[in-house]
Structure 1
């Protein structure tokens, strides 16, 4: 109801479980799929992975951090954004627009959950292969990636680095291109796995 009421959106389908969501996405070819994490038959993580592997659709995941432990897995599956289920109506509509435009949506609360999950995982540490790729970034690009990994918006990064938002967008684009990353969500995962940002360190 919320999304269908928007003048620039149309809800083309609904699904009661993950498997049905995969089938509906393949048939209806939506621009954005709003995916719950916990669903019957097939959970939202597996459904996200299947959709992202076969379709150009962006996936926006809904999660409750008090109960869900799958943020990292969903990121690796290809989710382009995360929302908390208690968001306001206008925030939901805005989030769909952001993801539809090709930008990633990663709230600071999601970043914190991601870091916590990374720390808990067995064998957590720097991945040398990823760390080596950082050598291809300029100092400014690396600094921008650190800011992105903190969950900061382009406006917040521009203020912190004393540059324009356009410059930040350029740096982010170069970072994604050089590292072969799809979006800002993957950039956050890369920053922690490569050791560029270490959980527990004070923010830049």
Structure 2
């Protein structure tokens, strides 16, 4: 049976979450149960140990429906290399998201300060303090945590998906970001490898 928990900072429908920044002034979230604290702790341990991750990905979302490629992740850094025909390179580092279109040689730079992906890429992830865990769903084979920025949940929602291994270990298998305009982008990860020595040059922005 899947355990589900949802709590919000104000009593409004979920669809209105990103349009009402005043929600942050509402009632405090219900404290986590002991079982939920265990799930959060396990996810925290998995994120702490997720060094040198490489994976293949498929994207579902605006502008790149069904696009695929290779992904690399190191604490505070992410690189996505999209396969043809998209031919796009995305690098997240030092608080910025740099998108380089190889077909047009155009480069776009976006701040992660107000982007839900910034919750994962601002440095070592801490599932407390500046980050609120607003939703937990667990089954025998999966764990799902939704996160918002505690100071401004209206900026967006980030959901992390983990596969649960036979020994209870967690492996990141998906990331979904919903921004303030409710644009939803999801990355499905597979063929993950963890603990690799990644070349620092992977996270050098294109054109630098």
TM-score by length of 1: 0.22
Determine which structure has the larger strand proportion and give its number. 2
Greater relative contact order, per chain length (Cα 8 Å cut-off, separation 6+): 2
TM-score by length of 2: 0.22
